[in-house]
Structure 1
């Protein structure tokens, strides 16, 4: 179990310029590969800014929510609403699992010992590194099982994604997008929009679960920090989007995967 001391709302005293710069750097990394970068922000919250595992997860979740809300209008403008609406059964299918997974994941996170949570986060970062490599350096095909199997597979996949997203404080797009493509044969562009529509309610459910514990107080103690880091993440993501394609993904993705693996190794050694 997480102790009362670990749940205490530690306040960051770092310079807001450093906070904004760190958020921008994370946003650029994520923007260059079309993601929000929350998986890179989490180790910064722990290693650079000194937050305990659970506090870092909750802060990361808050910033992921802000970034998703900022990205949603632009994404919906890029993909016709009618095209997205045509896939609503697919989104509902994943949501049926992801909402339950988010609640369960947040419940597990607040009940874990801090040392255990560090190791779980490390393992999930390895998973994210693998997902980056698979989705960006290989061609994701489609399985498209029959409807009778597709629905339960979607619920199970959604549950797992919702749990991972809640525990790491990420939106989950790294896992949602390939799931839409692989399981439901949705094109990659539409999958990006659908992932945001699934991520938003999934994150709200995780927030609702976290709000039941004293750990949620870290947001009130670090509201300015959270908003500045989120603003940096959004600004960086916009810049990263402009740099999309400037660097070859065959070079960029392995480098980002290595960053995640190094961060995972450092977290695994924490007590």
Structure 2
């Protein structure tokens, strides 16, 4: 599969940092990393082929998630995550397999098919932003063996999506943790990181076995600048959290994702 970028629109580090900061701020405003907004930028603005964009997005997502762990630990102690290790393992049992298969499928798919899958997933994320972002913790939806099976199935789906988009999957993990397991919303944010990091590493490892992975080595500076911008933007967005009412912010972000989906669908 082709991994080249346009010869007329080579990656620019200053633009990478600026877009990274904007994306990080958008993600920070809703408590996510913003990778779902970064992927359309990599495709539409920087003109990376879809597989290359996914791999680069995955690398940046790893950096952003790793940087978020210390700050989350200050809010939710690691002991709270350890107390819920069964929930983490339950989701990982599906997400690790899903990430491996998802990355393998992405490598095999034609570019045009991958564009359309990404567009469809962007629409899905937009709907989840509108319908599932303001869920609150309470009673678990299922219990016992049914909960375990549902956790594995949900984890597999989340792992596939995370691999196909190069995202951490928090936009799917947090509602799953809250609804299926009854987790508190703040705890769910930390638990999602505990699931996301190993899931992304598995997807990353699968991509590293394909020749398309060379796109990362050719663009390390670009990745570093955009990742740093995303980290800085996430910090700013987190400080502005609550400044814009959710009933205004979430529909606005959903519209951005829907417009991005249309652009990615039509991309050539």
Q: TM-score, normalised by structure 2?
A: 0.96
Q: How does 1:107-186 map to 2 (within 5 A)?
A: 107-137=104-134, 142-186=139-183
Change (3 A) 1:115 1:68: same
- Per-residue deviation, residues 98-118 of structure 1 (Å, max 9, x unmatched): 000000100010000100000
Q: Tell me the residue number matched to 1:60.
A: 57
* Offset at residue 10 of structure 1 (A): 7.3
Contact 1:23–1:233 (CA under 8 A) maintained in structure 2: yes
Structure 1 portions without partners, runs of 5+: none
Conservation of the 8 A alpha-carbon contact between 1:105 and 1:162:
yes
Question: For the Cα contact (< 8 Å) 2:94–2:156, is it kept in 1?
Answer: yes
Q: Show the counterpart of 2:264.
A: 267
Counterpart-to-counterpart distance in 2, 1:240 and 1:125 = 21
Partners of 1:95 and 1:158 within 8 A in 2: yes
- 8 Å CA contact 2:5–2:49 kept in 1: the answer is no
1:36 counterpart = 2:33: yes
- Rounded to whole Å, the distance in 2 between the matches of 1:84 and 1:166 is 24
Contact 2:170 2:196 in 1 (8 A): yes
Equivalent residues in 2 for 1:237-248 (5 A)? Answer: 237-248=234-245
Give the SS at the match of 2:99.
helix
What per-residue deviation string (whole Å, max 9, x for no partner) do you get for residues 41-94 of structure 1?
000001111101000000000000000000011112211222211100000000
CA distance in 2, matches of 1:9, 1:22: 18
Deviation at 1:146, TM superposition (A): 2.3
- Gaps of at least 5 residues in structure 2 are none
- Matched residues in 2 for 1:9 and 1:196: separation? 31
C-alpha distance in 2, partners of 1:186/1:141? 7
Contact 1:8–1:217 (Cα < 8 Å) also in 2: no
**TM-score, normalisation: structure 1:** 0.95
Partner Cα distance (1:209, 1:58) in 2: 10
Deviations 1:197-238 (A, max 9, x none): 100000000011001111100000000000000000000000
Root-mean-square deviation over aligned CA pairs: 1.5
Q: Which runs of 4+ in 1 moved over 6 A?
A: 9-12
Distance 2:100 2:207 in 1: 9
Count of matched residue positions in the alignment of Structure 1 and Structure 2? 267
Q: 23, 28, 32: which is aligned to 2:20?
A: 23
Whether the 8 Å contact between 1:105 and 1:166 is mirrored in structure 2 is yes
1:92 aligns with 2:89: yes
Contact 2:136 2:185 in 1 (8 A): no
Q: CA–CA distance in 1 between the matches of 2:217 and 2:201?
A: 17
Residues 47 and 177 from structure 1, CA distance in 2 versus in 1: closer, same or farther, beyond 3 angstroms?
same
- For residues 185 and 14 of structure 1, what CA distance do their matches in structure 2 show? 43
| Equivalent position to 1:7, from 3, 19, 22 | 3
C-alpha distance in structure 2 between counterparts of 1:7 and 1:49, whole Å: 13
Checking the alignment, whether the CA contact within 8 Å between 2:3 and 2:48 is kept in structure 1 is: no
Alpha-carbon separation, structure 2, partners of 1:126 and 1:13:
28
